[in-house]
Amino acid sequence: MSSEVVSRSEVFGWLKKELYGEKQSSSSPAHTFIILGASGDLAKKKIYPTLWWLFRDGLLPEETSIVGFARSKLSVEDIRTACLPFMKVTEEESESLSAFFRRNSYVVGRYDDGSCFSQLNTHLSSLPGGADANRLFYLALPPTVYHDVSANIRAHCMSHKGWTRLIVEKPFGRDLQSSQELSAHLSSRFTEEQIYRIDHYLGKEMVQNLMVLRFGNRIFGPIWNRNSVACVVLTFKEPFGTQGRGGYFDSFGIIRDVMQNHLLQILCLVAMEKPASTSPDDVRDEKVKVLKCIAPVCVSDVVLGQYVGDPEGEGHAKEGYLDDPTVPKGSCTPTFATAVLYVQNERWDGVPFILRCGKALNERKAEVRLQFTDVPGDIFNQSCQRNELVVRVQPDEAIYLKMMTKRPGVHFSPEETELDLTYKSRYKNVKLPDAYERLILDVFCGNQMHFVRSDELREAWRIFTPLLHHIEGQRTQPSPYTYGSRGPNEADELAKRVGFRYEGTYKWVHPHTT
Ligand code: NDP
Ligand code: BG6
C-alpha cells in the first residue's frame, strides 16, 4: 500500500513529463499566453484562475509569460484583485501566487486598431523568448470583434520561429451562414492546426471517459446499437436562471447556448463508430460522420420552455425570466428545450436521441442515459424494468447500471438495483482537473482531440439552423414552466411519445446512509 502513496509534486512531475516529453531543459522554448479581453467576465472567472492552478501545480511550461490585453486601463494589481475571489488560494500558496502574478503584464489597446497590436507585439517581443516564443492567444471576447482581432494578430503578432495558436470561445456564429463567414475569415488567416475552438464539455472527465467506456470494454460493444437501445437521453440542467446575464442570453437562447454545442458533442461521442486510432483527426472524422447522418431537427420533435417566477420559491421568491431587467420585454427566447434527433445510419436508425437542457430547473445535473429495450419473452409477469446505463457528468461523477436482481432472501421475485461506480468512493484521493485546465494544457501540447473542427461546426449548425430560423421567424411562444420545476410537462410527453419509459419505481439507497 505504502508504495502507492506518492506526493502531489511527484504526480505532477510525471504528468508534466507525459505532457511535454523529457524534462524541460534550459533550451525548452518560452511561451507567451495572451488573454484578449482580459478585463472581462470569462477572463476573471475562468482563464486567469485556470492559469494560476496550472502554475501552482507546476504544469505550465517553465518559461511562460502571461499578458492581458483589453480596452480598460488596468494594472496587473487590478486584475489580481478582480480574479482573487475565483482563484481558491490557500494561505500557504500566497508566495506562489505572487510568483504567478510576477509573470503577468498588461497592455491596454483597442481591438480594431492595428497600431495597438503593433505595440502589443513590441511588448511580447520584450518578454523571455522574445519574438520567437510560442504564442497562444485566448479570444475571451464577444464574437463581434473576432474579425478585427484575428486580422490584427495575423498582421502584427505572429511568433517568428515558434508556433502561434488561437483559442476561440463559443458562440461560433449564430447560424450556419454567420458561422461559415467566421470560419472563412479565420481560415484565410490561420490554418486549422492553429485554431482551437473550445467546447469546455469536451474537457470534462466523464465526457472524455465515454471513449474508454465504449471502446475499452468488451461488454458494451455488442449492445450499443438499435437492437438493444430503446433511446438515449442527454440532459443538462441548471438550478438557476440568467441572473442578470439575461441581455447576453436573450440574443442566443438555450439551443445555441447548450444544445447545439455541449449536448451535440456528447451525442457524437455516444453515437460514433470506433475511430481507427485515438489521433485527433481519426476521432473527429468519426464525429463528423455521425453529424452527417442527422437530418435537421423537425419542429414537431421539439418542446421549448421559458421559466416563470415562483413567488413561493425555497428561501426567497424566484423571479421569472421576463422579470430579469436585462431581458427585453415580451421575449420569446427559450430557456429550456427538448429536441429529438435521429442518427440515420446502420447502428442507430430509429433510435431517438432525446436532448434536454434548461435553466432554472430543479437541480444541477448533466448526464448521458442509455435506456435499453424490454427483455423479450417475459417470464416475470412484467415486473422487470428496463436496464439503464447512466454516465453522470456532474455533479458527483458516476457511472451506474440500473438492473434487475433476485430480491435477496426467501423471495424469488425480481427487484431493481444497480451496479454503481461512484467516483468519490472508488477514487477517494484523486483530484479531477477542471475542464479548462485540461483543455488549456492540450493547447500547449498541440493536441486538438478535444476541440471542435470546422466541419463538425458546420454540420452542427446545419442541424439546428432551420429550427432556429423557424422559431425566431414565427416568434414561437415557449411553454411556461415554474422556476425550480422539471420543465414543461410537454417535454416529458414528447420523450414518452418517442419511446422513453419512466416508471418512477427505482429507489436508490445512498451507500453512506445504510
Ligand atoms: P431518476 O429516477 O430521477 O430519473 C430517471 C429519468 O427519468 C431521468 O431522465 C429523469 O428526468 C426522468 N424522470 C424523472 N421524473 C420523471 C417524470 N415524472 N416523468 C418523466 N420522466 C421523469 O434517476 P435515476 O433512476 O437514474 O436515479 C434515481 C436517483 O438515484 C437519482 O437521484 C440518482 O442520482 C441516484 N443515483 C445515484 C447513484 C450514484 O450517485 N452513484 C447511483 C444510482 C442512482 P429528470 O432528470 O428531468 O428528472
Ligand atoms: C456555458 C453556457 O457554455 O456552460 C452557460 O454558456 C452554462 O450558460 C455553462 O451555465 C455550464 O457550464 P458548467 O461547466 O458549469 O456545466
Digit-by-digit pLDDT tens for the chain (514 residues) are: 333 334 445 555 555 666 666 545 556 789 999 999 999 999 999 999 999 999 999 999 999 999 999 999 999 999 999 999 999 999 999 999 999 999 999 999 999 999 999 999 999 999 999 999 999 999 999 888 999 999 999 999 999 999 999 999 988 889 999 999 999 999 999 999 999 999 999 999 999 999 999 999 999 999 999 999 999 999 999 999 988 788 889 999 999 999 999 999 999 999 999 999 999 999 999 999 999 999 999 999 999 999 999 887 776 678 999 999 999 999 999 999 999 999 999 999 999 999 999 999 999 999 999 999 999 999 999 999 999 999 999 999 999 999 999 999 998 999 999 999 999 999 998 888 999 999 999 999 999 999 999 999 999 999 999 999 999 999 999 999 999 999 999 999 999 999 999 999 999 888 765 5
- Residue corresponding to grid cell 446512509: 513
Helix (H, G, I), strand (E, B) or coil at 260: helix
Determine the distance separating the centroid of ligand 1 and the alpha carbon of 514, expressed in angstroms. Answer: 20
What predicted TM-score, i.e. pTM, was given to this entire model? 0.94
Instruction: Identify which ligand lies nearest to the alpha carbon of 169.
Output: 2
Kindly give the number of the ligand 1 atom that is closest to the alpha carbon of 356: 47
Q: Other CB atoms closer than 10 Å to residue 451's CB: what's the count? A: 21
> What residue's CA is closest to ligand 1, atom 10?
502
Measure Cα distances from 455 to 275, 288, 459 in Å.
17, 7, 6
**258 Cα: distance to centroid of ligand 2 (angstroms):** 7
Which residues, listed in sequence order, are joined to residue 368 by a DSSP beta bridge?
A: 234, 391
Alpha carbon of 354 to ligand 1 centroid (Å): 15
Torsion of CA 15, 20, 26, 32, to 10 degrees: -110
**Rounded to the nearest whole angstrom, what is the distance from the C-alpha of residue 262 to the centroid of ligand 2?**
9
> Which H helix or E strand runs over 212?
helix 205-215
Phi-psi label, residue 381: left if phi above 0, alpha if psi -120 to 50, beta otherwise:
left
Please identify every residue annotated as catalytic: 262
CA 270 / ligand 1 centre spacing (Å): 19
Judge contact between 363 and 238, C-beta under 8 A: no
**Which atom of ligand 2 lies closest to the CA of 366?**
16
- 490 within ligand 1 shell (Cβ under 6 A): no
User: Ligand 1: which of 506, 510, 514 to mutate, judged by most atoms within 8 Å of the beta carbon?
Assistant: 506
Nearest atom in ligand 2 to 238's CA? 10
Ligand nearest to the CA of 361: 1
Ligand nearest to the CA of 204: 2
**What whole-number distance in Å separates Cα of residue 354 and Cα of residue 337?**
10
Is any ligand 2 atom within 6 A of the Cβ of residue 257?
yes
